Structure 1
Amino acid sequence: SKTFLFNGEVTGPAITHLAQVNPIFWLILGAGIAKAETQRAQIGWVEPKDVPFDQPGLLRDAYVPGDLGFDPLGLKPTDADELAVMQTKELQNGRLAMLAAAGFLAQELVNGQGILQNLGL
């Protein structure tokens, strides 16, 4: 069955997908990442012209790493203890997701089948 992504041109196990994607996509993705990282740097770091020579990469006083002020649904806890718990949960969920993705790719390397075929779906 064809996927709606990339007009159905990317097929097979996920381990082979990156090589199948049109190079133009990578240029657009790279430009988007560069824009997002530039904006993040402007939020978190002091302008280079205002940084003392002996303190490269100086963060703004009010900046908390990872807090870019993006919370459109208001899900961020206001209590400091609740926020610490939520941050820990987010880190643990992210780590678990990375391990799961690595496991999927490892299984595909072993037998050349996609994850859905491995699960019998």
Structure 2
Amino acid sequence: MKLSAATFSLLFLSPVLGFAPNKVSRTSTALKNDLFKEPSGDKKNEMSKALPFVKRPKLLDGTLAGDVGFDPFGFAGNDIPTLVYMREAEIKHCRLAMLAVVGWPIAELFDKPIAETLGLPTALTKSGASPSVLNGGLDRIDIAYWVAVAALAGIVELENAKVKEAKGKKYTPGDCGFDPLNLYPKSDADKKVMQTKEIKHGRVAMMAILGFVAQEALYRIPVVQETPMFFKPIF
């Protein structure tokens, strides 16, 4: 079982998928200024909801789901294409982090027993931690596996590009046309609620996976052993 390696391969690919130059995403009709309205009057002087002691960034007017005016480092940029590009990058990182934050502890809990049952070598490190740049162990993963993951990522990106072109200015950042269980609402209001839930969960997941990485790098033991109350409540 190599679930832990799968998790980290997603983490490695996330910067590539999220921030690699993408001509379609930056020139699509979905990025036209008619998606957002220039603030006028008192709105120009509105304070940030997240940081009420400073003015909200000009482009963060609440149009995007999960927008509370938090951008202390100015990553959103000064134009609409940059803002939408960065939002799409954030969503991709969120989704990868949500997969990773589940896959990391599951691998540490079940990789070894499943591998032993099947007569296969475990993909975990000697301490039982998920393989990573800081933990080591990535050399145990077959190169064919990395090629397969990279190919899958490429397919997802191609499908995403098709959706952008098909929907034009109705395109929503992060929309890959993937909803096999038909969970996405039909009304615009309900859609924004669902998008807000996803972005909030994703942001928490990014913080959580960063915590896993830092904790294991610092203490050199698996996170499931360091805080067993969260991962072994019934074992």
Judge same fold: TM > 0.5, yes or no.
Answer: yes
Which has the higher mean CA deviation after the structures are superposed, 23-32 or 70-79?
Answer: 70-79
CA distance in 2, matches of 1:45, 1:3: 46
CA distance in 1, matches of 2:162, 2:212: 36
Per-residue deviation, residues 57-82 of structure 1 (Å, max 9, x unmatched): xx824433222332222211122112
1:117 and 2:117 correspond: no
Structure 1 runs (4+) greater than 4 angstroms displaced:
none
Q: Give 1:21-60 correspondences, 5 Å limit.
A: 21-45=141-165, 60=168
Partner of 1:9: 122
Tell me the percent identity: 31
1:93 and 2:93 correspond: no
Q: How has the CA–CA distance of structure 1 residues 79 and 60 changed in structure 2, closer, same or farther, with 3 Å as cutoff? A: closer
- Output the aligned Cα RMSD: 2.3
Number of residues paired by the alignment?
108
TM-score of the aligned structures, taking structure 2 as reference length: 0.41
Unaligned runs of 5+ in 2: 1-110
Partner of 2:71: none
1:73 and 2:181 correspond: yes
CA drift at 1:111 = 1.1
CA distance in 2, matches of 1:18, 1:98: 21
Which has the higher mean CA deviation after the structures are superposed, 103-112 or 72-81?
Answer: 72-81
Unaligned runs of 5+ in 1: 47-58
Q: How has the CA–CA distance of structure 1 residues 2 and 86 changed in structure 2, closer, same or farther, with 3 Å as cutoff? A: same
TM-score of the aligned structures, taking structure 1 as reference length: 0.74
